[in-house]
Structure 1
Amino acid sequence: MNTKYKDLIDQTFVFPQEEFKTENNKLFWHDINLMDLIEQYGSPLKFTYLPKISENINKAKDWFKQSMKKHKYKGKYFYSYCTKSSHFKYVLDEALKNDIHIETSSAFDIDIVKNLKKEGKITNKNFVICNGFKRDQYIENIADLINSGHNNCIPIIDNYEELELLQGQIKKKFKVGIRIASEEEPKFEFYTSRLGIGYKNIVSFYEREIADDKKVELKMLHFFINTGIRDNAYYWNELLKCISVYISLKKVCPTLDSLNIGGGFPIKNSLAFEFDYQYMIDEIIYQINESCKDAEVDVPHIFTEFGSFTVGEASGAIYEVLYQKKQNDRERWNMINSSFITTLPDSWAINKRFIMLPINKWNYKYERVLLGGLTCDSDDYYNSEQHINAIYLPIYEKDRPLYIGFFNTGAYQETIGGFGGLQHCLVPHPKMILIDKDAEGNIVTKVFKEQQKSSELLSILGY
């Protein structure tokens, strides 16, 4: 009988996969023996595999290169990283090895840019695209960056007052973009995004506020939808509306030469995940190219802002199953040695799914379980996986520890969870390690941050 956990995976998915395989009933991720990590660093454990960041950046660059060549597209492509996905320096250091650009969303982001400029990681040639609602400190920091000579800093106008605020602080001619307030999906509680300026108002706004202002040069139209790039009628409808606005604006604004199509590439959240990235890029380039050709306007340079796609698949978390509670005749609760609320906040806040697999015991029989965190909060659980709204794991044994891993957790989880700060029920944040390769291609690891200590939390609390 095929009753072992490895049989379940083999029967349900194509396995092994690009990043996952097993040897001696232990899970390997990007050829890294995860049990070795546990033996060296313990658990709970957070980890980031830095080469994956560069890998995904260069995949996207290659996809756009192929599509632009196929359609004889005359514009250029610029890959930008959304810092809000993960602000950690090790992420920016790795990403910036690949000739990319930066998208910011708040005032302190600009301080990160300045820091990276001092180190030579960013130069005046890198585009810094400043998104978000801007007031006071953000405006001041953007102005300071432009006044210092960073002419490729492009603030994206989010509302009618921002242009005047920028003009009051910036002492030289500067470039701007305008963000389109896209319509949201029908299931949303509101019709139009709170960010940006309405489709119908953009051309008139340009003619009224920018066209005759010799200090301001409109360079970019910015488009982004909350649900990201998906092959559905909603996405294509919004994209075509965006292209239509670009064409109308280009006809009255000769300096406009760039279209920012935002981001939102999905990342793998299941062993059954499928997404044809090349097809989507191919179709986007085709639609822009043909529409501009029909309208007899020059095609724009294409900017993207990939955050989760850049960093999401580079990270994971490992927990130990401490104990199993049988609350009734059907439900078995596997209690982990950390908290989902603090370490994977998207799992409970927006019901986000991550790839979850056992690290060991693949040759054991499996059982259906629920996963519970350490806090005393009823929402601290994980209850759905790729196995049709159920979690199956190797059987729990008190004297033989079971370790489980959550993968592709690199975007947003640390900042939303409040890395280095207070944690719910004072459950400490896990140890974090970085994984890289040396010049010979060997795996090297180092501790980025030890697990939080009681003294750190008590200090924040004023004790």
Structure 2
Amino acid sequence: MNTKYIDLINQTFDFPQEEFKLEEKHLQFHDIDLMALVEEYGAPLKFTYLPQISNNINKAKGWFNKALKNNKYKGKYHYCYCTKSSHFKHVLNEALKNDIHIETSSAFDIDIVENLKKEGKITDDTFVISNGFKRSQYVTNIARLINNGHKNAIPIIDNYEELDLLSQEIEGKFNVGIRIASEEEPKFEFYTSRLGIGYKNIVPFYKNQIQGNKKVNLKMLHFFINTGIRDNAYYWNELHKCLKVYTSLKKICPTLDSLNIGGGFPIKNSLAFEFDYEYMVDEIINQIKLACEEEEVPVPHIFTEFGSFTVGESGGAIYEVLYQKQQNDREKWNMINSSFITTLPDTWAINKRFILLPINRWNDSYERVLLGGLTCDSDDYYNSEQHMNAIYLPKYNKEKPLYLGFFNTGAYQETIGGFGGLQHCLIPSPKHVLIDRDEEGNITTSLFSEQQKSEDLLKILGYDN
């Protein structure tokens, strides 16, 4: 009779998978013994597996370069990393090993870029694509970067006033892009993105403010879909509308030579996850080429901005089940030794689901449970998986500790949760461990940050005087 947790996994998914396997009854993630990690550092614990950042960057570069070759596409491909997904230095250092470019979204991002330039991680040849609504400090910082010689900095115009603001502070000629205000999916609460300039207004905007402006070159059209690159009618329809704008602009703007197809790839959120990245890339390149051939204009260089895809699959969190509460005939609550609201805020804010697997006890029988966090907030829970409306885990046994891993959590969670700051109910941030490989391929670990102490929180609250 198949009653063990391992039986449930084997009959539900193809297992083992590329990053997950069992070794001596314990879960391995990219050949990392997670139980050994817990034994060394304890739980709760967050970790970042740095090599996965490079792995995903190089996968995407391979897909695009193959598609360019297959379609005899004459433009170049440039991979950009969205720093807002994770601003940490260890993330940027790993990503920048792979000859990539940067997308920024706020004033302090430019300070990070300048810091990386001083260290030689970024050069003047690195494209810095600056998105977002630009307040005065952001404009000033972009201007400083360009005035100091970074000619591959391209501010993306988000509204009608930004061009004048940039022109006032930038010395000499500079390049810009224009962001399209794409229409949102039908289920959205509003019709059009608040960011960018509407499809019908872009050509008039170019004619009125850029075409006769000897100080400004229009270099890039920026197309961003909030829900990311998906194989559905909505995405292809918006891409075709974007290409109509691009070809119309190109006919009257010789300096326009780049198309930024912002909006990221999805990342794995379940053992049942499937997405044909290679097909999507090939079809996007094919559609761009066809549209340009039809309108008899040269194809653009392609830029992408991948944030979650770059860093998301490098991250994980490990918790211990502290206690089980039987609240009624049907509901068993496994209480973890941390909080979902504070350590995985996307589970609470946007009902996001990550891959959830036990670290140990795979040969034990399983049960259906709900997971509860330590805060006193009723929303601090996790109750379903991406592929089903339930959670199944090895049965609770107070004599046999159970450890749970949440995987592919590397994007946004630290910044949304407020790394190093106050957390709901003063739940401390857990330890954070960096995992890397040396030149021989051996796994190395280092402690990036300790678990928050009472003194840390009291100081923020003003109780230390």
Give the alignment's TM-score, normalised by structure 2: 0.99
Q: Is the 8 A contact 2:270 2:387 kept in 1?
A: no
What percent identity do the matched residue pairs reach?
79
Deviation at 1:439, TM superposition (A): 1.0
| Alignment coverage as a number of residue pairs | 463
Q: Which residue number in structure 1 is paired with residue 202 of structure 2?
A: 202
- Matched residue type, 1:445: T
Give the secondary structure class of the aligned counterpart of 1:197.
coil
- Matched residue type, 2:182: S
Q: Is the 8 A contact 1:154 1:177 kept in 2?
A: yes
Q: Which residue number in structure 2 is paired with residue 6 of structure 1?
A: 6
The reply on whether 1:168 has 2:162 as its aligned counterpart is no
Moved over 2 A (4+): none
Q: Is the 8 A contact 2:102 2:128 kept in 1?
A: yes
Q: Is the 8 A contact 1:271 1:386 kept in 2?
A: no
What is the CA–CA distance in structure 2 between the aligned matches of 1:294 and 1:190, rounded to whole Å? 33
Give the secondary structure class of the aligned counterpart of 2:444.
strand
The reply on whether 1:362 has 2:371 as its aligned counterpart is no
Change (3 A) 1:411 1:204: same
- Matched residue type, 1:34: L
What is the CA–CA distance in structure 1 between the aligned matches of 2:387 and 2:320, rounded to whole Å? 21
* Per-residue CA distance 1:226-263 (angstroms, 9 max, x = gap): 11100000000000000110000000000000000003
- Residue correspondence of structure 1 range 124-203 to structure 2 within 5 A: 124-203=124-203
- Matched residue type, 2:245: V
Q: Which residue number in structure 2 is paired with residue 335 of structure 1?
A: 335
Deviation at 1:135, TM superposition (A): 1.4
- Matched residue type, 2:71: H
Give the secondary structure class of the aligned counterpart of 1:207.
helix
- Residue correspondence of structure 1 range 268-283 to structure 2 within 5 A: 268-283=268-283
Give the secondary structure class of the aligned counterpart of 2:323.
strand
Q: Which residue number in structure 1 is paired with residue 74 of structure 2?
A: 74
Q: Which residue number in structure 1 is paired with residue 318 of structure 2?
A: 318
- Residue correspondence of structure 1 range 216-255 to structure 2 within 5 A: 216-255=216-255
- Matched residue type, 2:436: D
The reply on whether 1:40 has 2:40 as its aligned counterpart is yes
What is the CA–CA distance in structure 2 between the aligned matches of 1:189 and 1:19, rounded to whole Å? 37
Change (3 A) 1:207 1:93: same
* Per-residue CA distance 1:269-308 (angstroms, 9 max, x = gap): 0000000000000000000001101111000000000000
What is the CA–CA distance in structure 2 between the aligned matches of 1:344 and 1:384, rounded to whole Å? 15
Q: Which residue number in structure 2 is paired with residue 15 of structure 1?
A: 15
Change (3 A) 1:420 1:15: same
Q: Which residue number in structure 1 is paired with residue 89 of structure 2?
A: 89
Q: Is the 8 A contact 2:226 2:263 kept in 1?
A: no
Which structure 1 segments of 5+ residues have no match?
none
What is the CA–CA distance in structure 2 between the aligned matches of 1:381 and 1:214, rounded to whole Å? 57
Q: Is the 8 A contact 1:433 1:448 kept in 2?
A: yes
- Residue correspondence of structure 1 range 312-461 to structure 2 within 5 A: 312-386=312-386, 388-461=388-461
* Per-residue CA distance 1:367-392 (angstroms, 9 max, x = gap): 00000000000000000114521000
The reply on whether 1:60 has 2:82 as its aligned counterpart is no
The reply on whether 1:302 has 2:305 as its aligned counterpart is no
- Matched residue type, 1:283: E
* Per-residue CA distance 1:176-202 (angstroms, 9 max, x = gap): 000000001111111100000000010
Deviation at 1:329, TM superposition (A): 1.2
Give the secondary structure class of the aligned counterpart of 1:120.
coil
Give the alignment's TM-score, normalised by structure 1: 1.00
What is the CA–CA distance in structure 2 between the aligned matches of 1:231 and 1:448, rounded to whole Å? 38
What is the CA–CA distance in structure 2 between the aligned matches of 1:2 and 1:414, rounded to whole Å? 39
Deviation at 1:399, TM superposition (A): 1.3
Give the secondary structure class of the aligned counterpart of 2:224.
coil
Give the secondary structure class of the aligned counterpart of 1:181.
coil
Q: Is the 8 A contact 1:357 1:404 kept in 2?
A: yes
User: Is 401-410 or 23-32 further displaced after alignment?
Assistant: 23-32
What is the CA–CA distance in structure 1 between the aligned matches of 2:422 and 2:133, rounded to whole Å? 27
- Residue correspondence of structure 1 range 278-293 to structure 2 within 5 A: 278-293=278-293
